[in-house]
Amino acid sequence: MKILVCISNVPDTTSKINFTDGDTKFDTNGVQFVINPNDEFGLTRAMWFKEKQGATVHIATVGEASVEPTMRKALAIGADEAIRINTAPTDGFFVAEQLANVIKDGAYDLVIAGRESIDYNGGMVPGILATLLGMNFVNTCISLEIEGSTATAIREIDGGKETVQTSLPLVIGGQKGLVQESDLKIPNMRGIMMARKKTLTVVEPVDAIIATKDAKFDKPVAKGSVKLVNSADELVDLLHNEAKVI
């Protein structure tokens, strides 16, 4: 089985976020980037297929040279090869078209993408990718087993879970549940050293329409000040006379 995992390079959730050019561009200065968490769950599941069923695992990322440290981490975790599409990711349609162009000639049985990235939360790339490739698609996937050419998946739906069976080739939009956080792999020294020798291929992008653009970013409203109280009686008084909630 040949697997491709789509990896997004996203800001660490602890990073301080700022914007430039009149709040129209994200300021990357001082920001630590990581593998998108939903993608990391998918990568870890792909490694399970590699260890248990002998699968070959490739990764692909749309991004400029600055994303390569994130890709090397994925290789250190255990992916066999990496492909970097040499262009800045813009909207989801553009990213999906770039990935589809790489995937279509790769004879992949399974394509794993995170259901969404934690930076823009668009949630569109896996579905567009499946449509462009003409592959079966399971979104919000929290469990995946493959036997021969048959895949059994569990996905989250409103109010519950749904078990589906489909055939390969398949695209999934994965999330936590494919593996648990405790299953995520931390690269060891041997993996880091081996990653330096693994193939990281850079390909040029294809022409594709950029259908949307960022008009403006707004930060959340700052939290209001807090008032400390010294006793239950003072708290009750404030809730009754100032907040007027009791």
Domains of the chain: 2-219 (3.40.50.620)
Residue 3 has a pLDDT of 98
Residue 227 has a pLDDT of 84
**Rounded mean pLDDT, 21-43:** 92
pLDDT band at 83 (very low <50, low <70, confident <90, very high): very high
Looking at every residue in the chain, the average pLDDT score rounds to: 93
Share of the chain above pLDDT 70, in %: 100
Residue 41 has a pLDDT of 97
Q: How far apart are CA 156 and CA 177, in angstroms?
A: 10
Residue 14 has a pLDDT of 87
Q: How far apart are CA 47 and CA 141, in angstroms?
A: 17
pLDDT band at 211 (very low <50, low <70, confident <90, very high): confident
Q: What is the pLDDT of residues 136-151, one digit of tens each?
A: 999 999 999 999 999 9
Q: How far apart are CA 146 and CA 52, in angstroms?
A: 11
Q: Answer whether residue 101 shows pLDDT above 90.
A: yes
Cβ–Cβ under 8 Å, residues 184 and 174: no
Neighbouring residues of 122: CB distance < 8 A, sequence distance ≥ 6: 91, 92, 116
Residue 245 has a pLDDT of 85
Share of the chain above pLDDT 90, in %: 75
Q: Answer whether residue 88 shows pLDDT above 90.
A: yes
Q: Answer whether residue 76 shows pLDDT above 90.
A: yes
Q: Answer whether residue 49 shows pLDDT above 90.
A: yes
Q: Answer whether residue 206 shows pLDDT above 90.
A: yes
Residue 226 has a pLDDT of 84
Cβ–Cβ under 8 Å, residues 161 and 196: no
